[in-house]
Amino acid sequence: MIVGNMALKHRIVFPPLTRNRNDDDHVPLPLMVKYYADRASTPGTLVISEATSVSHLEEGQDNIPGFVSESQVAAWKNIIDAVHAKGSFYFQQIWGMGRASFPKFIAKKGLKYRSSSAVAMEGVDATPEEMTEEEILDVIQSFVDTARRVIAVGGDGVEIHAAHGYLLDQFVSDAVNKRTDKWGGSTENRSRLLLEVVKAVVDAIGAERVALRLSPFAAFQGAEKSDIVEQYLYIIKELKKMDVPFAYLSLVEPAGDPGTIVHNGKTVNQDKTLDFILEAWNNRSPVIVAGGYCPNTAAWALEDHYRKWNALVAFGRHFLANPDLVFRIQHGLELNKYNRPTFYLAKNEVGYNDYSFSKEHMAAHPNV
Ligand code: PHB
């Protein structure tokens, strides 16, 4: 199936997963090359990177990556080349972190702890400062510059992260964004930064290299919306007005809220579905859905619930635990179990490259 400029060979996607295996300067460690290449081992797979900061100002947590300095870009190039060498495809997920940065970590670096508004995140003992207009324009430029760097070293495209309470979502959410200027105060204004970023990146690298991730229902990091339907139908309407061939839209189902499934947070909106967005989007591009899938439920989703749409399914936890997940699903093989306590073990091999390929894969591809 065609997604953007890519001819994918199946509908299983390796989605963005924060794994904290970058060094203290936010440079990918060499062990990440094998990790990504292994998950690209079935040719024609779409591999999406973990969320990557668009500027040093947004490198707000330990051991998450950036795509800015020469050493960061060079390290990512090795990863991109390794994925391509497997005959697979590569998108870089790019973000700002805003108030999801760790305040003490940011303070140690002398950076400003900032967000759309001066609204503290629940459970965090610090209040961000409201960003100035100059800082907002600078963020848009950072997304553009980073997207250009990704393409310059061979990436197939970028996925703009506007989900899960990170910086762009902090502008979309009326629980976080209390601004009264043109960047807040109404559905239109709260959507402005996200849409400006998308437009600017499309202009810079071409729409077929641009994707967008949204999590309409997630409560993770407090980015709730009081009128989800109105907010997202507006965003979809404006994206459609751009009349460009986006690579894909990535949508997180209620069951995929990382607040619930990774961080044991509150469970919200579980009775809701993405249907209203999919109807409005009406197959303008393929969509990737994520929501704690296993092989059986994914088959049902593609063949039944999402059959009207050009859908692909993301597997986060199962793909991190099964480098040959695609092969295993195609051959009906059992899956390795994931080990949650090692998901975020900073800079550590444990729980990272120690998940095995199936013996069937090893027999069929002895050199992988
Ligand atoms: C996380 O670190 O838990 C995390 C990061 C990015 C997301 C979701 C969750 O989009």
Give the per-residue SS3 of 211-236.
EEEECCCCCHHHCCCCCHHHHHHHHH
**What is the per-residue burial (b if ≥16 Cβ within 10 Å, else e) of 333-357?**
bebbebeeebbbbeebeebbeebeb
DSSP 8-state secondary structure symbol assigned to residue 40: T
Contact between residue 71 and residue 77 where contact means Cβ atoms under 8 Å apart: no
Which ligand 1 atom is at minimum distance from the Cα of 50?
6
Taking residue 39's Cβ as centre, other Cβ atoms within 10 Å add up to 22
pLDDT recorded at residue 264? 78
Q: What are phi and psi of 210, to 5 degrees?
A: -120, 135
Taking residue 302's Cβ as centre, other Cβ atoms within 10 Å add up to 18
Mutation test residue for ligand 1: of 17, 18, 221, the one with most atoms within 8 Å of CB: 18
Find all residues with CB under 8 Å of 135, minimum gap 6, and list them.
114
**What is the per-residue burial (b if ≥16 Cβ within 10 Å, else e) of 56-70?**
ebbbbbebbbbbbee
pLDDT recorded at residue 353? 98
Mutation test residue for ligand 1: of 164, 172, 214, 345, the one with most atoms within 8 Å of CB: 164
Contact between residue 15 and residue 288 where contact means Cβ atoms under 8 Å apart: yes
Per-residue pLDDT of the chain (368 residues; tens, 9 = 90+): 999 999 999 999 999 999 999 999 999 999 999 999 999 999 999 999 999 999 999 999 999 999 999 999 999 999 999 999 999 999 999 999 999 999 999 999 999 999 999 999 999 999 999 999 999 999 999 999 999 999 999 999 999 999 999 999 999 999 999 999 999 999 999 999 999 999 999 999 999 999 999 999 999 999 999 999 999 999 999 999 999 999 999 999 999 999 887 787 888 999 999 999 999 999 999 999 999 999 999 999 999 999 999 999 999 999 999 999 999 999 999 999 999 999 999 999 999 999 999 999 999 998 87
Report which of 221, 222, 168, 215 is spatially closest to residue 195, judged by C-alpha positions: 168
Q: Name which residue sits closest to atom 10 of ligand 1, judged by CA.
A: 164
DSSP 8-state secondary structure symbol assigned to residue 305: I
Which ligand 1 atom is at minimum distance from the Cα of 161?
10
Indicate the residue type of 70.
E
**Span from the CA of 365 to the centroid of ligand 1 (angstroms):** 33
Q: Name which residue sits closest to atom 5 of ligand 1, judged by CA.
A: 18
Q: Where do the H-state alpha helices sit in the chain?
A: 31-39, 70-85, 103-108, 133-152, 167-172, 187-205, 228-241, 258-261, 275-281, 295-300, 317-321, 325-330, 359-364
The label of the residue with tokens 């969320």 reads 51
Q: Name which residue sits closest to atom 6 of ligand 1, judged by CA.
A: 18
**Span from the CA of 240 to the centroid of ligand 1 (angstroms):** 27
Give ligand 1 pocket residues (Cβ under 6 A).
18, 51, 163-164, 258, 262
Token pair in block for residue 79: 């990863």
> Whole-structure pTM over 0.95, yes or no?
yes
Report which of 87, 188, 177 is spatially closest to residue 131, judged by C-alpha positions: 177
Q: How far apart are CA 276 and CA 203, in angstroms?
A: 28
Strands 89-95 and 52-53: parallel
| Residues noted as catalytic | 166
Q: How far apart are CA 228 and CA 217, in angstroms?
A: 7
